[in-house]
Amino acid sequence: MLALAVLGLSACAATSELTSRSRCDLRSFCFNQNNIRNITIISNEAFVVHVGSNRCPYLVEVNGVFCDLNFSSAIGFRNSDGRICRAGNTQVVTDPFRRNSNDVCRIRNVKPVTDDELLEYYAVHGRIPPLPPAGSGQLELEPQ
């Protein structure tokens, strides 16, 4: 049987999502679709999934002809066991009313990300303003 979990899209990340997540396993490249708490679209080919009570962020990259995530009405996963992995056979469904079974995206990569990496992805793709530089901005050169 195919499991299909349709989740609503989130407009932006709350500041509570960007706090330290010391209990997230950065070595796990899979998550269970039943533990998804939030999805944030980053680009046409990538989104962040927050998983579990610690809201551990995973970057999911997809490819396919019909992968226009910015205009999707919903995000769903279709697979046989509920595990979303980078080397699995999971399909991402971006439109529950698709006309053809080929109108799906394939997962290219799933990777856990740190809070710093998450902020960087958000800034690079325009989800948040660029972060200000740290320090005074002055370069110090040692005399030679």
pLDDT band at 102 (very low <50, low <70, confident <90, very high): low
Residue 101 is predicted with a pLDDT of 62
Taking alpha carbons only, the member of 40, 41, 62 closest to residue 107 is 62
Residues 56 and 22: their CA atoms lie apart, in Å, by: 9
Residue 137 is predicted with a pLDDT of 67
pLDDT at 76 over 50: yes
| Least confident residue range of 61-65, 94-98, 121-125 | 94-98
Residues 3 and 93: their CA atoms lie apart, in Å, by: 11
Residues 73 and 71: their CA atoms lie apart, in Å, by: 7
pLDDT at 133 over 80: no
Tell me the backbone φ, ψ of residue 79, rounded to 5 degrees.
-155, -175
Residue located via tokens 């997809």: 62
| Least confident residue range of 4-13, 49-58, 121-130 | 4-13
Pairing of strands 75-79, 83-85: unpaired
